[in-house]
Amino acid sequence: MITGILLAAGKSSRFGANKLLHPLPDGDSIGVTAARNLLTVLPGSIAIVRPADILLAEQLSTTGIRIVVNEHADTGMGSSLACGVSTTPGATGWVIALADMPFIQTNTIRAVSAILDNGETIAVPSCQGKRGHPVGFGKGYQSQLKQLSGDRGARRIVQQNRKQTRIVTVNDPGILADIDSPFELNHHLLFTN
């Protein structure tokens, strides 16, 4: 079973407030929209949150996503990714999504997941020649993912395994649209809708 891991344990330091709680034009928050997109394709998905993000955890749980608290979230994204993989030992692969990327199309998540179902080990979407998110990892990378720490995420694993990485070409600018500031949110709203 391929499992989605929604990384939602960041600090939102450049946004000025918890960006994942910020509403989009349809009324749903950035985090809730990202969770729903992931759950549409991977119903057994989990969301990794910080211990103090009670309101975010409550909002995300309304989508049906399982909430996992990362007690070591302050150490960075790698820790949250490792926490998610450790929490789902029965998975046959993982699709790693970022909660501040609500514009990723479900077809893209499905395409990344399908590569893992077909036995590929790493799947990375690309739009207009640029790589983005979510990134998929097969079961063979479980031990490496569980050892991650710091704020680099799994980029090093992808770089070290270029031959096992399958690029999935998509027509989805949402794979590049991460939101770190209100300016970026407004920019992405103009170009992804």
CATH code where residue 148 lies:
3.90.550.10
Q: How many domains does the chain have?
A: 1
Q: What average pLDDT does this structure show over 68-72?
A: 96
* 78/37 Cα distance (integer angstroms): 22
pLDDT at 191: 58
pLDDT at 25 over 80: yes
Which domain range does residue 23 map to? 2-192
Q: Is the peptide bond before 134 cis (omega within 30 degrees of 0)?
A: yes
The arithmetic mean of pLDDT across residues 27-44, rounded, is 96
Distance separating alpha carbons of residues 98 and 192, to the nearest angstrom: 17
Distance between CA atoms of 136 and 125, rounded to whole angstroms? 9
Residue ranges in 71-130 assigned as alpha helix (H): 77-87, 106-117
Which of helix, strand or coil describes residue 92?
coil
**Which of 4-8, 59-63, 72-76 bottoms out in mean pLDDT, i.e. has the lowest?**
72-76
Q: pLDDT at position 16, please?
A: 58
117 pLDDT above the threshold of 80:
no
User: Which of 71, 72, 73 has the alpha carbon at shortest distance from 20?
Assistant: 73
Residue 193: pLDDT band with limits 50, 70, 90? low
The pLDDT of residue 192 is above 60: no
Q: Is the per-residue pLDDT at 59 higher than 90?
A: yes
**Could you give the CA distance from residue 166 to residue 75 in angstroms, rounded to a whole number?**
29
Q: How far apart are the first and last CA of the chain?
A: 32
Do the Cβ atoms of 71 and 19 come closer than 8 Å? Answer: no
**What tokens appear for 174 in the block?**
């949402």
pLDDT (0 to 100) of residue 17: 64
pLDDT confidence of residue 11: 75
The pLDDT tens digits for 145-188 are 999 988 777 989 999 999 999 999 999 999 998 887 656 666 56
Does the structure show a pLDDT above 90 at 69? yes
Alpha helices in 26-129 (DSSP H): 30-41, 54-61, 77-87, 106-117
